[in-house]
Amino acid sequence: MHEGLQVSIVWIRKDFRLSDNLALHHAAKAGIVLPVFIYNDTASLKMGSVSQWWLHHSLKDLHSSLENKLQVYTGNPEEKLFELATKHNIKHVYFNSSYEPEQLAQDKFIQKSLQNAGIVCEIFHSQLLWDPAKIVTGYGTPYKVYTPFYQNGCLHADAPRFPIAKPEKLVCYNNTQNSISIDALGLLENNTWNEKLSTIWTVGEKAAQDRLKSFIAHGLEGYKENRNIPSLDGTSRLSAYLHFGQISVNQVWYAVHKASAKNIPVQDSSCYLSEIGWREFCYNLLFNFPELPHKNFNAKFDAFPWVYNEEFFTAWKQGNTGIPIVDAGMRELAQTGYMHNRVRMIVASFLIKNLGIDWRLGKDWFWECLVDADLANNSANWQWVAGSGADAAPFFRIFNPVLQGEKFDPHGLYTRKYVPELALMPDKYLYKPWMAPANILKQACVSLGKNYPAPIVELDVSRNKALAAYKSL
Ligand SMILES: Cc1cc2nc3c(=O)[nH]c(=O)nc-3n(C[C@H](O)[C@H](O)[C@H](O)COP(=O)(O)OP(=O)(O)OC[C@H]3O[C@@H](n4cnc5c(N)ncnc54)[C@H](O)[C@@H]3O)c2cc1C
């Protein structure tokens, strides 16, 4: 059936889509495609439980789009690709690059060893708008500050590639030898998130495109203001789809540009595009500083006197700190696998600065629980809040969770939803129930320390302690 036609392996990684998928596009143009996913159970960085849930459904969605021709394997990708190519006498392997340090090194190695064996191996740049190797300062060094990175580096470089449609003709290789089922990967085994997440998220390429369309139609206008209000559906919620490549960043970029050319105020579209720019910046940092997930970018922080208090850390994870906006955020995360960006900053600041707990522990918890858990974005943002990162918020800028709640969720629509114990608290005391007179607490049916925790730390005292620790550096 396939005689005379080139057969190419397309190694699927974080590009679970048919449209604007360069590796798939080129392989389909050349002939028959053998789409392969390899679950690397030997990788040193394990996926969090929520990411495993998303991955399971991403695989199901792509398998169905490929008329059930996606071949699934476990093991070392290099060995598997080599084995498949040899077995089926395949001379072409295509894949899209990844910019995570471990994978980047692996990709180069795989390309070299396949080529040494006479197999053409083509790697395409498709996860980011701009290749991080190419966005450098006039001195050829990496940018460390966001604004010049985005304005001078990105926006003055060549315009990003225009997205391409899905292959007009896609013929997949008829082979299921040794491929295992998606279920056999066991991604949902003992995964307690399944029930919760299935009612909230629809995973897949179509869902990503629908989400983009709906955001452009209803959310892009007003984004600049609304993106800070956690009770609104004011952001795109595309982060997980971008992470898993159910939508490409080029598709998002050009869709927003198109909308902007029509009727969207430029302040909203440019604000949204600059957030996409932050994603590029985080990847650029990870690309140039591969230790970003583990090591303080600013080495001065290596001497920071972190304290570890199991009780505090557990209260934070469970959303039982007694600080309402922090608890709302942590419970949103536990219930939905997502947390609004404004609240991510507040809970991270509280963990690091009020509880004095090392940012790496918070980063790991987010890694476990977020649908969009992403090595570059997660690491760079935690370091940004900690003050240890590139172009970070200064350490002494400590978010006040009372003022933040009052400013960004003034009537508590978001907070009351996730902290129903405080549903009847008047706005005035919602973010500081410990200040409420006894009769107000009674009317609101709140008994601190009984049906809602008293604050685990005093905000002013812990803030001053953090500042003193910072000064000691
Ligand atoms: C402590 C902390 C941890 C974070 N961890 C992650 C993470 O693991 N994965 C992740 O994708 N984002 C992370 N972020 C960034 C941001 O919170 C999310 O990208 C955003 O909330 C996702 O929602 P959205 O798609 O509706 O965003 P939108 O406001 O619609 O933004 C559009 C896109 O821009 C990108 N983006 C927006 N803000 C940022 C940012 N600050 N940094 C990098 N990219 C950004 C995302 O890809 C996002 O999907 C983190 C932020 C903080 C403060």
- Ligand 1 atom with minimal separation from the 240 CA: 11
Over residues 334-359, mean pLDDT: 98
Q: Is the pLDDT of residue 177 over 60?
A: yes
Structure tokens at 329: 């955020």
Q: Which fold has domain 299-471?
A: DNA Cyclobutane Dipyrimidine Photolyase, subunit A; domain 3 (1.10.579)
Nearest CA to ligand 1 atom 22: 239
Residues 343 and 67: their CA atoms lie apart, in Å, by: 41
Q: What is the DSSP string of 379-448?
A: HHHHHHHHT-STTPPPTT----HHHHHHHHSTT-HHHHHH-GGGTTS-HHHHT-GGGS-HHHHHHTT--B
Nearest CA to ligand 1 atom 26: 237
For ligand 1, the distance from its centroid to the CA atom of residue 179, given in whole angstroms, is 35
Q: Which of 14, 24, 11, 18 is nearest to 82 (CA)?
A: 11
**Which residues does ligand 1 sit against, CB inside 6 Å?**
227, 235-239, 242-243, 275-276, 278-279, 282, 341, 344-345, 348, 366, 370, 372-374, 377-378, 381-382, 385
Residues 370 and 2: their CA atoms lie apart, in Å, by: 43
- Ligand 1 atom with minimal separation from the 281 CA: 43
Nearest CA to ligand 1 atom 1: 382
Nearest CA to ligand 1 atom 6: 378
N-term to C-term CA, the chain: 69
pLDDT band at 2 (very low <50, low <70, confident <90, very high): low
pLDDT in tens, 88-140: 999 999 999 999 999 999 999 999 999 999 999 999 999 999 999 999 999 99
Over residues 216-230, mean pLDDT: 97
As annotated, the active-site residues are 275, 278, 306, 341, 359, 382
Residue 49 among known ligand-binding residues: no
Dihedral in degrees, nearest 10, Cα atoms 403, 231, 323, 411 = 60
- Ligand 1 atom with minimal separation from the 276 CA: 34
CB 396 within 8 A of CB 406: no
For ligand 1, the distance from its centroid to the CA atom of residue 118, given in whole angstroms, is 41
Nearest CA to ligand 1 atom 53: 345
Per-residue pLDDT at 43: 81
pLDDT band at 1 (very low <50, low <70, confident <90, very high): very low
391: Cβ–Cβ under 8 A, 6 or more apart, which residues? Answer: 144, 145, 146, 281, 384
The domain limits of the chain are 6-127, 128-162+205-288, 299-471
Over residues 309-328, mean pLDDT: 98
Residue 373 among known ligand-binding residues: yes
Residue 137 among known ligand-binding residues: no
Q: What is the mean pLDDT of the chain?
A: 96
Residues 338 and 364: their CA atoms lie apart, in Å, by: 15
- What are the φ and ψ backbone dihedral angles of 258, each rounded to 5 degrees? -65, -45
Residue whose entry in the numeric block shows the structure tokens 């600041």: 349
Over residues 258-270, mean pLDDT: 93
Q: Is 37 helix (H, G, I), strand (E, B) or coil?
A: strand
- Ligand 1 atom with minimal separation from the 239 CA: 49
Over residues 166-171, mean pLDDT: 96
DSSP class of residue 420 equals G
Helix (H) or strand (E) holding 96: strand 92-96
Q: Write down the CATH superfamily of domain 6-127.
A: HUPs (3.40.50.620)
Over residues 372-379, mean pLDDT: 98
Structure tokens at 3: 């005689």
CATH second-level architecture of 128-162+205-288? Answer: Alpha Horseshoe (1.25)
Q: Is the pLDDT of residue 459 over 50?
A: yes
Mutate to test the pocket of ligand 1, among 239, 283, 361 (most ligand atoms within 8 A of CB): 239
Percent of all residues in the chain with a pLDDT value above 70, rounded to a whole number = 99
pLDDT in tens, 382-399: 999 999 998 888 888 899
CB 411 within 8 A of CB 427: yes
